[in-house]
Amino acid sequence: MNLHEYQGKELLSSFGVRIQRGIVAQSAKEAVDAAKQMTAETGTGWHVIKAQVHAGGRGKGGGVKLAKNLQEVEEIAGNIIGMDLVTPQTSAEGKRVHQVLIAEDVYYPGDNEPDEYYMSVLLNRGTGKNMIMYSTEGGMDIEQVAEETPHLIFHEEIDPALGLLGFQARRVAFNLGLSGTAFKEMTKFVSALYTAYVKSDASLFEINPVLKTSDDKIMAVDAKVTLDDNALYRHKDLKELRDLREENPIEVEAGALGLNYVDLDGNVGCMVNGAGLAMATMDLIKQAGGEPANFLDVGGTADAARVEAAFKIILKDPAVKAILINIFGGIVRCDRVAQGVIDAYKNMGNISVPIIVRLQGTNADIAKELIDNSGLDVMSATEFQEAADKVQTVLS
């Protein structure tokens, strides 16, 4: 689950990570009130108006703007709220902005120049350790830094049993070229950030930029936070931060029906039981020259109601040109699944795309007979390859 920047910052702040402060607003009027409140709390005269959508690169798309007075706050917030923000990370249609963050301006002049760094915390699956990845080159595309100046990206591997050790936090501050107050600030920042990552069961923190202010404070100016869905059951408060408006509507609907569905770009809808078989089915579709339109695991109990729900979900995608049902009857008997497919088909009336059903396992022969004698426009197959070939035939 992804969080909005303002939610991510609140989470970080609750663990003692210094952040650029801000207040979220849903309208231009609320934005002005938020700006007044920020001024009262922080003394800032300038504010940054930041679009809150689940996509990075907002600055490049015109979703992050500096306002130097309340009139500009109102104007800019009014323009950004309701716009379809296009960034390098969104589709060409962009993402609708429902709210903005009114943040204090933290790039104020002072004794030193402000400086931007990059920092992320994630799991290194290769070593089985957590990792802090950081760079002196903040505020820009880390992919570009990796490409052009890879020696400016550092890694600190953390044994999850030991946690982040003091010398490791100091090494981060040292590699970033810090000294004095900024050095101490950075060690505190990194330690708090790592604690927040572990305690919130996150799978990714990306703070770009981490800012050194002109008076040597270290703070998070941006926050991309991804939480591990499988651990959300123990974070009831964080679970509530989910913003369904940011997610794929078909995936949300499938989730509510208990279906494990991931929307993809292809034209062959798949209905499969078991994640492993679903992956293998997608491979086979590709081999046969098609492109999977989705990943869909209907789970162990593929009865008529579930099959019908899955049909409906698959058919919501207008790109679907054929449906491949690939079910292994282990716990569930194939004849029951076949009957489910037939019932669902009859219930739904007109399904306009060809359907290929491959049932294997307990009572597979009875199942094939049921399908073949149903009088419906459904092709059956018993072998995996046979099913894939039939998909290819209907597509060509």
Residues noted as catalytic: 118, 206
Q: Is 247 in the site for ligand GDP (CB under 6 A)?
A: no
Residue 212, interface with ligand GDP (CB under 6 A)? no
CB of 222 to Mn ion, least distance (A): 4
User: Nearest distance from residue 39's CB to ligand GDP, in Å?
Assistant: 14
Binder of Mn ion out of 208, 273, 339, 363 (CB under 5 A): 208
Measured over the CA atoms of residue 47, residue 52, residue 57 and residue 60, the dihedral's sign is: negative
Least Cβ distance, residue 382 to ligand GDP (angstroms)? 51
User: In DSSP terms, which residues pair with 212 in a beta bridge?
Assistant: 115, 218
CA distance 218 to 189: 7
Q: What are phi and psi of 164, to 5 degrees?
A: -75, 120
> Which does residue 270 bind out of Mn ion, ligand GDP, none, counting CB within 5 to 8 angstroms by kind?
none
d(CA 49, CA 72): 10
Binding segment for ligand GDP (CB under 6 A), chosen from 59-67, 246-254, 352-360, 363-371, is 59-67
Q: Which does 354 bind (CB under 5 to 8 A by kind): ligand GDP, Mn ion, none?
A: none
**Of 268, 286, 284, nearest to 394 (Cα)?**
268
Kindly indicate which of the ranges 29-37, 50-58, 192-200, 256-264 contains the residues binding ligand GDP, using the contact rule CB under 6 A: 50-58
**Closest among 340, 331, 393 to 367, alpha carbons compared:** 340
- Footprint of ligand GDP on residues 190-209 (CB under 6 A)? 208-209
* Shortest distance, position 150 Cβ to ligand GDP, whole Å: 21
Q: Least Å distance between CB 77 and ligand GDP?
A: 15
Is residue 56 a contact residue for ligand GDP (CB under 6 A)? yes
Name which of 105 and 291 has its Cβ closer to ligand GDP.
105
* 116 is a site residue for Mn ion (CB under 5 A): no
For position 58 contacting ligand GDP by CB under 6 A, the verdict is: yes
Q: Which of 7, 41, 51 is nearest to 220 (CA)?
A: 7
Distance CA 224, CA 19 (A): 13
All residues at 6 or more sequence positions from 71 whose CB lies less than 8 Å from its CB, including other chains: none
How many residues contact Mn ion, by CB under 5 A? 2
Q: How far is the CB of 78 from ligand GDP (least distance, A)?
A: 19
What residues contact residue 352 under an 8 Å CB cut-off, 6+ apart?
none
Per-residue contact flags (x/-) with Mn ion for residues 220 to 239, judged by CB under 5 A: --x-----------------
Question: Shortest gap between Cβ of 209 and ligand GDP (angstroms)?
Answer: 5
Residue ranges in 126-155 that form contacts with ligand GDP under rule CB under 6 A: 139
Partner in contact with 220, chosen from ligand GDP, Mn ion, none, beta carbon below 5 to 8 Å by kind: none
Pick the stretch among 56-64, 177-185, 275-283, 304-312 that binds ligand GDP (CB under 6 A). 56-64
CB 15 within 8 A of CB 192: yes
Answer yes or no whether residue 105 interacts with ligand GDP by CB under 6 A. yes
Q: Check residue 308 for interaction with Mn ion (CB under 5 A).
A: no
- Binding residues for ligand GDP (CB under 6 A): 48, 50, 56-59, 64, 66, 103, 105-107, 139, 208-209, 221-222
- Binding residues for Mn ion (CB under 5 A): 208, 222
